[in-house]
Structure 1
Amino acid sequence: MEVIYSPGEHEDPRPGREGLPPRAWVDRTDAQQLSLNGDWRFRLSPTAAVPGGDEFAKVDFDDGAKQWSDLPVPSHWVLHGHGNPAYVNIPYPFPVDPPFVPTENPTGDYRYAFDLPKDWSLGDGKTVLRFDGVDSWCKVWVNGTLLGTSSGSRVPVEFDASAALLAGSNVLAVRVHQWSAGSYLEDQDQWWMPGIFRDVTLLHRPEGSVVDHFVHVEYDHKTGGATLKVDAKPSGRVVIPELGIDAPTGELLHLAHVEPWTAETPRLYTGHLVTAGERVPLHVGFRTVAVEDGVIKVNGKRILFRGVNRHEFHPDTGRAVTRETMLQDVLLMKRHNMNAVRTSHYPPHPHFLDLCDEYGLWVIDENDYETHGFEQLDWAGNPSSTPLWKDALLDRVGRMVERDKNHPSIIIWSLGNEAGPGENIGHMASWIRQRDSSRLIHYEGDKTCKYVDMYSRMYVTHAEVDALGRREEDPLDDPELDKKRRAMPFILCEYIHAMGNGPGGQAEYQRLFEKYPRCQGGFVWEWIDHCFIKPTTDGRKYWAYGGDFGEEIHDGNFIVDGLLFPDRTPSPGLIEYKKVIEPVAITRADSRRVSIHNNRDFASLDDLAFTYRLERDGRGVAGGPLAVPSVAAGHTVTVPLPDVALSHSGERIWTITAVLAADTKWAKAGHEIAWGQFPAAETSPPVVATSSSAPVFDSATGVVTLGPAQFSTTTGQLTRLGRLPVTSLQLDIWRATTDNDRGQEYFEGICWADVWREANLDKVKHRVKRVGIQGNAFVVETRAAAGSWNRGLVTTYTWTAEGGGVRLTVKVVPDGDWGDMILPRLGVRVGLPASLSRASWYGYGPGEAYPDTRSGVKLGQYGLSIDDLQTPYVFPQENGSRIDVRWADFAGSEGGLRVEGVPHFAFTARRWTTEQLQAARHTTDLVPGDNVWLNIDHAVNGIGTASCGEGVLPEYKLRVSETEFSVLLRPT
């Protein structure tokens, strides 16, 4: 048979062709560079078999035809009108037939015309063309001359362009296939977005310029001394004036004293590597990484990771992130007390690592490798265990290590993510150990820890972390491997899945990390919600997620799982995480003293200033600086509280705050680092007023009047409070489900959203059993029950007049078999006029909080508009609860309402019903109605992190039981 077409070279699983050996990435030297970023000509074809073949690469090819247009580089073509992004978490978006990919393979052809500067010397040395990131496979020509091909989307490739370049005008042509054999190695939880998405640069390499260099350091924490050796090809000199160094490369230098590099004290010594043809900047940080006594130590001390997993993402540009965005991420991490980042699940743009060196973050640098989709096939044919893929995997991990080897912030190499077990994992680990023995090796998929230096897991329960801390985990079948693993440090490379409302249980994890030396912290999944802006038909904008772009296979809003909203606004989960991991623990020692504990690993607290504030009923009555002596890392001091006269009335609270004493690179003086809050004195219980009037029944209208309240005798409903019309005040046990409610609890197999829906808790009906006057009280007895079931909640509402308002006491008695049911909430819901526009309260705030997500809120007086009480989760869900509220005022143009707790309550207030919130899929689905719907909750169920992980801890579950609670309602 005459072959007209055969599969393309992009389906070859081996590494690309003709790329130069990988080397350390250097941003700027004194050698010439020419950025080729800009507007390129672009054409998209539906398959890899592009009509005309490689003709487009010729210099005289006409790219002015209508199928060609301008496209910025770096970028993803799907974000510029050429197709759409697609999101999947685990499955491959194409048939699994390795190494082959579909014929329908979007293919982008790029052309870029540029002029070499007149002073560019083509005759001196050579010129290298560098691509920092191309997704997923590329073929490159200069002036019609083929330079080579490359696979490996998120690691750089360099080609020798010397022979192809001309003085003056030149044409660069690149063909990029969206799908390739390499796509099987890049099944990360992210959007599939092809294109040249990182920088393209032309580099002059003069004779004698640096081909590669490797900075080797060690730090002796006992003496404060260090060693330094810079290997370079060709040889040259190392010049670091601050250390008095001017020495040959390759020479081991002994330094009597240096300041070490840590994430808390990121001390860099700057200098140059000088060869005959080039001066390369050096930024040297001295530190030693080791596992000793079963824990990870840096510079001789155990470290605790307070980390986050970071994908590269921007809602306008996808993974084509700017340096400004990278800096914004680092600043936000530092300002929220994070000290570590895992580069999930690929090496980031190298400038991000420069920032980690400069600002101070521990880094797990992760290989561009994930094959999660093979898990659905029981790992059959998985590249980790298939010899066919060995060279490609060694190529990827090698390009990462060589590019990033000189960053002091990187203390761990990660072989990849969710790619199963296999001997190729061992081959990568062996190669790294031979090349760089100064760092540790991580791979969560190596469950037996055969190849790695630490035991790493994802989404482990609190109970199992506790067992791991005691080194009492379930044994492995192999006694030797079990002994080896049990002696290893343990980290959670992913935990507390930050999807939607939550995650719950943060503080409980942190206490375990602090309790057990083996448990060295973790990395929250993940940093940011990955969403793009889309308009509705009427022009309103919303955040789009999986399925919003017509994908055939997608995983919905599972991509919306970050501590930051897509616009990089901190979520309530990030606010709480900052508090949970704060480096200073401020607690009450006794009635007159405060305990200050330094949770840092290295630095003292000398860079912080402390203040106190004494509050009564949420208002400050005294405040000022608090003198705290120097506190070394890991130490505690007890400091006397100021001698301030305490009032004998009201709730009195001390708030102690630690802030930056001076400007730093990442925040201004006064930036809050940590805080603690505790009672100044015992609070007297509130005085209970007696009923001042009896109900009055008007038989002509069927209305009962009690103080400022009016009730219907047929329904028992409160209809008016003062001049405020009221509707539908009744028991409420339903909330719009959260992402965590909808998740499967990993270790219980329960999805509470499904359980609640099956129980019809969202369809509760109320039957009035009795309405009457009992002494000075108006009493309504009902039975609240869900369809299809014989269980219910017998609810008695007792109303009495009190202090210009009415007291409502609600007694709830379970009826029938509720089994082990957990309720979403327990309280009352009431409809109020839409004219109410603002809420003020004394309780915890200013943000939302739930029983297991309350660490980041403070007790105080707060005020917000009804609209601003909402937390705008991308996928609408239960949100906005303010917890342990003493009183709350809801004000508007036509009167208002004051709610007082007996003693406390929680509330949410919205312009839409819970049912509307449950039905919404985007924020634009939420349209204000004719009422403000106020929930006054006696209790709410916890949040947990079951969207991917553990559910609600037992102590935060709202179980069905006989309950009584009261609130006081006053018109204002």
Structure 2
Amino acid sequence: MSQPYYEDTSPGYGARPARAAFTTDAATAGLGGIWRFHLSPAADLAPDGFWADDFDDSSWSLLPVPSHWPLHGHGSPVYTNIGYPFPLDPPRVPDENPTGDHRLVFELDDSWTREPAVLRFEGVDSCARIWLNGQELGVTRGSRLPVEFAAGPHLRAGRNVLAVRVHQWSSGSYLEDQDMWWLPGIFRDVTLIRRPPGGVEDAFVHAGYDTSTGRGTLRVDAVTRDGAEARLSVPELGVDDLPAGDTIAVEGVAPWTAETPRLYHGVLATGTERVTLRIGFRTVAVEDGQLRVNGRPLLLRGVNRHEHHPDHGRALPAELDREDVLLMKRHNINAVRTSHYPPHPRFLDLCDELGLWVVLECDLETHGFSAADWRGNPADAPEWAEACLDRIRRTVERDKNHPSVVMWSLGNESGTGRNLDAMAAWVRERDPGRPLHDEGDHECRHSDVYSRMYLPHDEVEAIGRHAEPPLDDPDADARRRSLPFILCEYAHAMGNGPGGLAEYQRLFERYPRLQGGFVWEWIDQGLRQRTPDGREFFAYGGDFGEPFHDGTFAIDGLLFPDRTPSPGLAELKKTVEPIAIRAAEGRGDGRGRRIRITNRYDFSDLSHLCFELALSSDGLPVLAKPLHVPPVAAGESAEIELPVLPPVDGEGWITISALLAEEQPWAPAGHEVAWTQLPLTEEEQASRRGTGPRPVPAPRRRPDGRLVLGSGEFDGRSGRLVRLGTMDVDGPVLDLWRAPTDNDRSASLWGPPDDSAVRWWRQAGLDRMVHRVDEVADGPDGVLVRTRVAAAAQASGMTVEYRWAADESGLVLTVRVEPAGDWPGGLPRLGVRMAVPGRLGQVRWFGRGPGEAYPDSRSAARVGRFSSTVDALQTPYVVPQENGARADVRWAELSGGDGPALRMESVGLPRFSLTARRWTTGDLESARHTTDLAASDRLFLHLDVAQYGLGSASCGPGVLPAHRLQAAPVTWSLRLSACG
């Protein structure tokens, strides 16, 4: 039996040479829209002759193109991270190979028959065979890369028939194992483009910039049909009729950077065609151990971006590319790695226009071969050489004219091998003006940067100090140590997290060799689904009945699937902000305090920003005024004297904000770029007076056994508070457990297998603690309850004392916890929980906000007064888990419905963290999707003095030692009162 074409390791056949994507004035016809579609479960069951003009497709389904057919009711999506969803037997694929036949009938006028034309596919997953009016044009593989076929000889006036057979599995699938949904289909644009005689076949813009002279150099190489002459005009620069291939110097150009994305509009013209070019002058090089653009080193504040939409998969609506770029710019992100394939070309157009550094990655990943110890890896096997070279050629040729693209990436997680070497050699010859990245090239044989994934902070610091473990080859070791270091992936944004972003950023800013990195990843790859009763949730691996899948691992983004920013994105914005505002030593001449402002932009001064100062007292505004800051140059600092501020009666805070002074293409005037808060010193605050609350009578026992103390009633046997004023309550009692986060459940990438935080916590029984009451006593000072909290089969436990006192303001609870025994894994949380009436759905608090905060993810939470609803306090992680904590709460009030409000106050330090929700921790832990959470008629409150950090152990390092919660004696106090 002969090998089917879809199992051939070649790139395909019939395609025209790869070229740059450009805008032309030649006629085009978009062929997107509604096509006829038929799905066969196997290639050999697909209908024969469907490409014929007279084939009857009237019984076929209708399918939009671009699209993925599994998202339109034809088959099901499959998600895997590393393992292939078919046997590892290259280049063979299963007999069960879903095959989608697509047909489109379209009309053309007779002008299309007079000149050559090409049929262009921007993306087809994974192998396609194409016929036009019954004539085969060819076969293509390379799903996320464009391909063109000569169409002119087969076009006709009037009715035309385009037929495309797409196989889900092919030899190309072995090169596309990219941690995403396997979604077949014609998922990008299909276009018919007229190619006039003497027209432009290809163009390559070379636009460099010399920082020492401020001069640009410009050359456009062109390939034309029939050897026609092409000439360039750039009116803004006075360039007129420059022959293609000629180099000129251009005086006084403004360089292109991601901070100042200056583009010049040019036209490359022949006698029959005009091609529009957007030209950005910049020079990229690795010099003096750093990645530099226009002579200055970059600090990449980046994200990895998969193309994803919860309804359309990778067939993104055009407006979402712009939405993504705007969101990135507004969150201080300056770089994108196009993981792990070239995106739709319009995304790069936006990066050019609005300003983002781009690491452009080839459509190549063979990660699943790691299961076979990389035996047969296409990155090294000779039979795959042409396929690998074809992919990098199509990548570079399509996107070579984008100034935003500052580095080519050969692919991702494909090991090492001679084919990667050949790809690197081809790129260096074709485009020596951009450095090369190769994630798997840890010895930097051909990479121009040293790139790693998910390294712990201490290893990153060692690399920053050039103190990483040496390579065996001294020459290779010396070369690697001379190169800049970039984390191509770090801070796995799965579920609640990532933690540790601020610590990474401090390392990047401290060591010049460390030039930043790319957070994994931009968006949760959840697919929108609905329950039978119509409630929306987002599906992940296994939700479609796949026998083999990687579950929730696709849910690891800074955006939720509907593009709602997660708390992780707010944290990233704060930690990578390009202006640092810190307190400076000493006082100014006017005796006001001084601040130090450091400009961490790579190129821009601060003239595009205005600064504001706001003073608050106990979270309430006192004054706001502009603050004069000079236009500090990039990389420089200045000290500013603040005005002398009036004393305040309460807890005082100064907030300083850096705002856009004028509207930018990516954000309105007033958009906040950076901020800091400084507490007032004691001398800056008015002295506080007052006698404090007066005590109330001692507790008394009622005939029913209940203890009454002030406004509280206690169960006489358990000592639990059961009523506060007229409000029924239950608790508070010690709580040590939280619904595990994705990071809690996972072992650190760099630790022992299965060594997750949850394993230690469950081993200690923290999810099944029982409470024993040892004493309930009442006396003149209040109520004392002594308990021991421990788990079955465990000797370790917690001795807990609850001391209740009362004053005219409410009940004061002092909790003292004394651990006994060993607690090697630490604690998830330490606090008390209680249940209160469900009507209390409105929340006000003075503390950190407005969003959630955890020990290693709290930079974005500022001190102030905030209000919300209990429902809005919840962070709707696609996979339910611990969420919603508001940190450093001084006081909080819950109100709503008929009845008093509940007020909770910190009494001294430590302050508490508030979590309020309508379901228990057990409910949260057992839910697979948000729709599994059913609201109770009660609210469940957690008042914590500490929680374990978040870390990034779902794919990376765990929680740093400073943010782990160890068992230790602790005492804290709260005041509870019913008010209003």
TM bucket, shorter chain: over 0.9
Whether the aligned pair in 2 keeps the contact of 1:500 and 1:738 (CA below 8 Å) is: yes
- Partner SS for 2:751: coil
From 519, 532, 535, the equivalent of 1:540 is: 535
Q: Report the equivalent of 1:59.
A: 53
CA distance in 2, matches of 1:760, 1:636: 52
Give yes or no for the alignment of 1:9 onto 2:1: no
From 857, 861, 869, the equivalent of 1:865 is: 869
Q: What amino acid does structure 2 have at the position aligned with 1:676? A: T
Give yes or no for the alignment of 1:162 onto 2:136: no
Stretch deviating more after TM superposition (291-300 or 770-779): 770-779
In structure 2, list runs of 5 or more residues that go unmatched.
Answer: 586-591
Q: Cα offset for 1:30? A: 1.1
Q: Report the equivalent of 1:80.
A: 72
Q: Report the equivalent of 1:735.
A: 738
Q: Cα offset for 1:691? A: 6.4
- Partner SS for 1:56: coil
From 798, 806, 811, the equivalent of 2:811 is: 806
- Partner SS for 2:24: coil
Give yes or no for the alignment of 1:643 onto 2:650: no
Q: What amino acid does structure 2 have at the position aligned with 1:357? A: D
Q: What amino acid does structure 2 have at the position aligned with 1:621? A: V
Instruction: Indicate how the Cα distance of structure 1 residues 589 and 147 shifts in structure 2: closer, same or farther if over 3 A, else same.
Output: same
CA distance in 1, matches of 2:110, 2:320: 34
Q: Report the equivalent of 1:666.
A: 666
CA distance in 2, matches of 1:522, 1:768: 52
Whether the aligned pair in 1 keeps the contact of 2:699 and 2:780 (CA below 8 Å) is: no
- Partner SS for 1:227: strand
Q: What amino acid does structure 2 have at the position aligned with 1:872? A: P
Q: Report the equivalent of 1:915.
A: 922
Moved over 4 A (4+): 683-691
CA distance in 2, matches of 1:798, 1:687: 25
Q: Report the equivalent of 1:899.
A: 904
Summarize deviations over 1:118-166 as a string: whole Å, max 9, x none.
443x223x11000000000000110100111101000000000111111
Alignment of 1:198-597 (within 5 A): 198-234=188-224, 235-246=229-240, 247-590=242-585, 592-597=593-598
Q: Cα offset for 1:115? A: 1.0
Whether the aligned pair in 2 keeps the contact of 1:756 and 1:762 (CA below 8 Å) is: yes
Q: What amino acid does structure 1 have at the position aligned with 2:93? A: V
CA distance in 2, matches of 1:690, 1:768: 30
CA distance in 1, matches of 2:135, 2:810: 87
From 86, 91, 98, the equivalent of 1:94 is: 86
Whether the aligned pair in 2 keeps the contact of 1:691 and 1:800 (CA below 8 Å) is: no
- Partner SS for 2:742: coil
CA distance in 1, matches of 2:641, 2:513: 34
Give yes or no for the alignment of 1:131 onto 2:121: yes
CA distance in 1, matches of 2:234, 2:896: 67
Summarize deviations over 1:314-337 as a string: whole Å, max 9, x none.
111110012211011111111111
- Partner SS for 1:852: coil
Q: Cα offset for 1:694? A: 4.1
Q: May I ask how many residue pairs the two structures share in their alignment?
A: 960
TM-score (norm. length: structure 2):
0.97
Q: What amino acid does structure 1 have at the position aligned with 2:10? A: R
Whether the aligned pair in 1 keeps the contact of 2:559 and 2:566 (CA below 8 Å) is: yes
Q: Cα offset for 1:531? A: 1.0
Instruction: Indicate how the Cα distance of structure 1 residues 110 and 217 shifts in structure 2: closer, same or farther if over 3 A, else same.
Output: same
Q: What amino acid does structure 1 have at the position aligned with 2:735? A: D
Whether the aligned pair in 1 keeps the contact of 2:693 and 2:809 (CA below 8 Å) is: no
Q: What amino acid does structure 1 have at the position aligned with 2:939? A: V
Q: Cα offset for 1:8? A: 1.2
Whether the aligned pair in 2 keeps the contact of 1:653 and 1:681 (CA below 8 Å) is: no
Q: Cα offset for 1:640? A: 1.8
Q: Cα offset for 1:686? A: 9.9
CA distance in 1, matches of 2:907, 2:806: 15
CA distance in 1, matches of 2:205, 2:716: 84
Q: Cα offset for 1:663? A: 0.9
Whether the aligned pair in 1 keeps the contact of 2:696 and 2:808 (CA below 8 Å) is: no
Instruction: Indicate how the Cα distance of structure 1 residues 688 and 931 shifts in structure 2: closer, same or farther if over 3 A, else same.
Output: farther
Stretch deviating more after TM superposition (705-714 or 584-593): 584-593
Instruction: Indicate how the Cα distance of structure 1 residues 685 and 147 shifts in structure 2: closer, same or farther if over 3 A, else same.
Output: farther
Give yes or no for the alignment of 1:877 onto 2:881: yes
CA distance in 2, matches of 1:561, 1:688: 52
Instruction: Indicate how the Cα distance of structure 1 residues 960 and 685 shifts in structure 2: closer, same or farther if over 3 A, else same.
Output: farther
Q: What amino acid does structure 2 have at the position aligned with 1:892? A: G
Instruction: Indicate how the Cα distance of structure 1 residues 922 and 368 shifts in structure 2: closer, same or farther if over 3 A, else same.
Output: same
Give yes or no for the alignment of 1:195 onto 2:163: no
CA distance in 1, matches of 2:281, 2:128: 38
Q: What amino acid does structure 2 have at the position aligned with 1:326? A: D
Whether the aligned pair in 2 keeps the contact of 1:337 and 1:583 (CA below 8 Å) is: yes
CA distance in 1, matches of 2:700, 2:709: 9
Q: Cα offset for 1:699? A: 5.1
CA distance in 2, matches of 1:118, 1:166: 7
CA distance in 2, matches of 1:631, 1:492: 29
Whether the aligned pair in 1 keeps the contact of 2:699 and 2:783 (CA below 8 Å) is: no
Instruction: Indicate how the Cα distance of structure 1 residues 809 and 123 shifts in structure 2: closer, same or farther if over 3 A, else same.
Output: same
CA distance in 2, matches of 1:52, 1:538: 38
Q: Cα offset for 1:540? A: 1.5
Summarize deviations over 1:589-634 as a string: whole Å, max 9, x none.
2461222211100011111111110011111101121111111101
Whether the aligned pair in 2 keeps the contact of 1:579 and 1:856 (CA below 8 Å) is: yes
Instruction: Indicate how the Cα distance of structure 1 residues 752 and 763 shifts in structure 2: closer, same or farther if over 3 A, else same.
Output: same
CA distance in 1, matches of 2:67, 2:284: 37
Summarize deviations over 1:439-476 as a string: whole Å, max 9, x none.
01001101111111000000011101110000100111
Q: Report the equivalent of 2:588.
A: none
- Over aligned residue pairs, what C-alpha RMSD do you find? 1.3
From 850, 855, 868, the equivalent of 2:854 is: 850
From 101, 104, 110, the equivalent of 1:109 is: 101
Q: What amino acid does structure 1 have at the position aligned with 2:655? A: T
Give yes or no for the alignment of 1:789 onto 2:794: yes
Q: Cα offset for 1:644? A: 2.5
Stretch deviating more after TM superposition (252-261 or 15-24): 252-261
Q: Structure 1 vs Structure 2: percent identity of aligned residues? A: 55
Alignment of 1:953-972 (within 5 A): 953-972=960-979
Q: Cα offset for 1:52? A: 4.0
Whether the aligned pair in 1 keeps the contact of 2:282 and 2:294 (CA below 8 Å) is: yes
Q: What amino acid does structure 2 have at the position aligned with 1:631? A: V
Instruction: Indicate how the Cα distance of structure 1 residues 686 and 12 shifts in structure 2: closer, same or farther if over 3 A, else same.
Output: farther
Summarize deviations over 1:863-882 as a string: whole Å, max 9, x none.
11111110000000000000
Q: Cα offset for 1:690? A: 6.8
Whether the aligned pair in 1 keeps the contact of 2:699 and 2:779 (CA below 8 Å) is: no
Whether the aligned pair in 2 keeps the contact of 1:708 and 1:804 (CA below 8 Å) is: no
Q: Cα offset for 1:225? A: 0.6
Q: Report the equivalent of 1:152.
A: 142
Summarize deviations over 1:832-872 as a string: whole Å, max 9, x none.
01111111000000100011100011110001111111000
CA distance in 2, matches of 1:332, 1:752: 33
Q: What amino acid does structure 2 have at the position aligned with 1:13? A: T
CA distance in 1, matches of 2:16, 2:337: 28
CA distance in 1, matches of 2:64, 2:47: 24
CA distance in 2, matches of 1:576, 1:729: 31
Instruction: Indicate how the Cα distance of structure 1 residues 699 and 70 shifts in structure 2: closer, same or farther if over 3 A, else same.
Output: closer
